[in-house]
Amino acid sequence: MKLLNFFLSALEPDDLAALSPGLTEIVISPTEVLYEHGEKLPALFFPGGACISLVTVMLDGRAVENATVGRESAVGLLEAVTDRPATLRAFAQIGGGAMRLSAPLFRARMMQSPALARLALLHLRANAVQAEQGVACNIAHDVPQRLARWLLMTHDRVGSKTFPLTQEYMAVMTGVQRSTVSLAAGALKQRGVIDYSRGQVTILDRAALLKQACECYGVIGAQFEELRVSGHVAG
């Protein structure tokens, strides 16, 4: 694969050969919506450089982020496995490259391959832990801690210390008003932990950001690290 996606990199050779005819390399534009709540998915997506946000949209239009997916996993995996409509909106927090795969092809292959089924279930478990921990985090931890966690996760998912991220979207990530997140981001910038200007964020001191983040970053990261160490994720 030209793009590095850890799920695809972990496929057994037979599974990769079976799925390759349905794989297409695409470029996802910033803010592009991959699917909406209630839609049936014809495909799932494996980000390489893109970072996809999964959000719940309230009746009044407010969006609350549940999870993000980047090069470590797949977008639409649950919908592809179950053949059920999406329960969230998925859109590109950060644009970039990805692989698109036919959902029916993936599902048919999974029924034939215990190895692919196990890989899918392990990723579903890791993504579920991310969502569950995020709920607890939003209740138990303050805005600076939550912001640090999301910045670290975005850094991990795109593989670059500089990425586009507006204050408006920082507010969505942390579930607070823009003025509140602006104060937290400003404090990180003043301390030399991050820099941001014109919608671009740069991680200057990851070690300091790790100290700022809550325990939830480690809990979530451990799920995918466990996959990597056990050989279920390459890299």
| 103 located within any domain | yes
Distance of alpha carbon 192 from alpha carbon 206, whole angstroms: 10
pLDDT class of 199 with cuts at 50, 70, 90: confident
Helices of type H across the chain: 6-9, 13-19, 77-82, 103-112, 114-140, 143-158, 167-174, 178-190, 206-212, 216-229
137 within some domain? no
CATH at 166: 1.10.10.10
Distance (Å, rounded) from C-alpha 204 to C-alpha 83?
A: 42
Q: Same domain, yes or no, for 17 and 105?
A: yes
pLDDT of residue 228: 61
16: helix, coil or strand? helix
Do you know the residue count of the chain?
235
pLDDT digit string (tens) for 171-183? 777 777 888 888 8
pLDDT of residue 208: 94
107 within some domain: yes
150 and 175 part of one domain? yes
Q: What is the pLDDT of residue 133?
A: 84
Domain boundary among 97, 128, 159: 128
What is the per-residue pLDDT across 37-73, written as a single tens digit (0 to 9) for each?
999 999 999 999 899 999 888 888 777 778 889 988 9
Mark whether 190 and 97 lie in a shared domain.
no
Residues 21, 52, single domain; the answer is yes
Within 10 A of 2 (CB to CB), how many other CB atoms are there? 7
- With a CB cutoff of 8 Å and minimum separation 6, the contacts of 62 are none
| Residue 71 exposed, middle or buried by CB count within 10 Å (0-12, 13-18, 19+) | buried
Q: Is the pLDDT of residue 227 over 70?
A: no
Express each pLDDT in 113-171 by its tens digit: 999 999 999 999 988 888 888 778 877 888 889 899 889 988 888 888 998 888 777 87
- Residues 10, 50, single domain; the answer is yes
Predicted confidence band at 233 (pLDDT cuts at 50, 70, 90)?
A: very low
Query: What pLDDT sits at residue 130?
Result: 83
Question: What three-state secondary structure class fits 41?
Answer: coil
pLDDT exceeds cutoff 80 at 5: yes
Domain annotation covers residue 1: no
Does residue 233 lie within any of the structural domains?
Answer: no
9-15 own/partner pairs: CB under 8 Å, 24+ apart: 9/233, 9/234, 9/235, 10/119, 10/227, 10/231, 10/232, 10/233, 10/234, 11/116, 11/119, 12/113, 12/115, 12/116, 14/113, 15/109, 15/113, 15/115, 15/116
Do both 64 and 88 map to the same domain?
Answer: yes
Residue 88 lies in a domain: yes
Q: For a pLDDT cut of 70, what percent of the chain falls above it?
A: 94
Examine the domain organization and report whether 202 and 91 are in the same domain: no
Q: Are residues 121 and 28 in the same domain?
A: yes
Q: What is the pLDDT of residues 73-84, one digit of tens each?
A: 999 999 999 999
In a domain, 225, yes or no: no
Residues 29 and 115 both lie in one domain:
yes
Residues 119 and 10: beta-carbon distance below 8 Å? yes
The CATH number for 51's domain is 2.60.120.10
| Residue bearing the bigger pLDDT, 190 or 199 | 190
Instruction: Specify whether 66 is located in the same domain as 11.
Output: yes
The mean pLDDT of the chain is 87
- 104 Cβ contact list (under 8 Å, min separation 6): 42
Q: What share of the chain in percent tops pLDDT 90?
A: 49
Number of domains in the chain: 2
Host domain of residue 11: 6-128
| β-pair partners for 43 | 102
